[in-house]
Amino acid sequence: MDVYGLIGNPVGYSLSPPMHEAAYEALEVDARYVTFEPPADAAAAAVESAATLGVAGLNVTIPFKQGVLDAVEPDPLAARIGAVNTIDFTGERVTGHNTDAAGAVRAFDEHGVSLSGTAVVVGAGGAGRAIAFGLADEGMAVRVANRTESKARDLAADLRGAGESAADATGHGLDALADLLADADVLVNATSVGMESDGTPVPAGALHGDLSVLDAVYRPVETRLLRDAAAAGATTVDGAWMLLYQGVDAFERWTGREAPVDRMNEALRSRL
């Protein structure tokens, strides 16, 4: 039996176990998905312990996404993002990956959204970094808006990088959102605003029908931002789709099999 799992602190809230267990059952994979909650300062030790125990793969959540970098060989995307949320122990080396970027891209694809033109990403934290890199790699111009403008500018500079593949990216404060959204094609909320209260980081009046809007918040599934976007005629994508597809990407990486997306989605949404 293969063992996969999640390290985080805390992990009791996670919806990854039922989602992955549903996939194993659907495909009759002899595997289990378990959770580990090591001390917050024990990221590297947790990875080493998992390898010793013969764990085949790990998902990684707060506060370990940066800390595990020193214990794995990150792929180029994870290294650029500066965070790992998926670890693979099945090769000659322990490798680290970031499936948050793929999760966002595949969530938009699920809704038929063409990732071309200009994207506005609100938030320059871990989720914002991953999503911004994912959209930039799809060829989008990325405008980062953040409460602390200097962090948005820093992320934009990382996105631009160097050489011919440099992204078209700029950083701004939240007060620039109305102007940024006027001609934008995609909007992503990568902050936690809307999770604990009925709030939104985006003025409703700045939304319009030519936008496709993803809110990375998945509890609640229908946030105020998504309600405002729907009222403006925009295409809306709830955060559960991103959560689903980052899990799908991890499952397919670990097992080499096509994930039963419908079964995983059913298991996920039944618990939201």
Q: Go through the domains of the chain in sequence order and give each one's CATH number.
A: 2-98+242-269 (3.40.50.10860), 101-237 (3.40.50.720)
Looking at residue 175, the DSSP 8-state letter turns out to be: G
Mean pLDDT of the chain: 95
With 60 as the cut, is the pLDDT of residue 128 above it? yes
Per-residue model confidence (pLDDT) at position 165 = 54
Per-residue model confidence (pLDDT) at position 27 = 98
Give catalytic residues, as residue numbers.
65
CA 242, distance to chain mean position in Å, is 6
Per-residue model confidence (pLDDT) at position 163 = 47
Answer whether 0.85 is exceeded by the pTM: yes
With 70 as the cut, is the pLDDT of residue 197 above it? yes
Give residue-wise pLDDT tens across range 215-271. Answer: 999 999 999 999 999 999 999 999 999 999 999 999 999 999 999 999 999 999 999
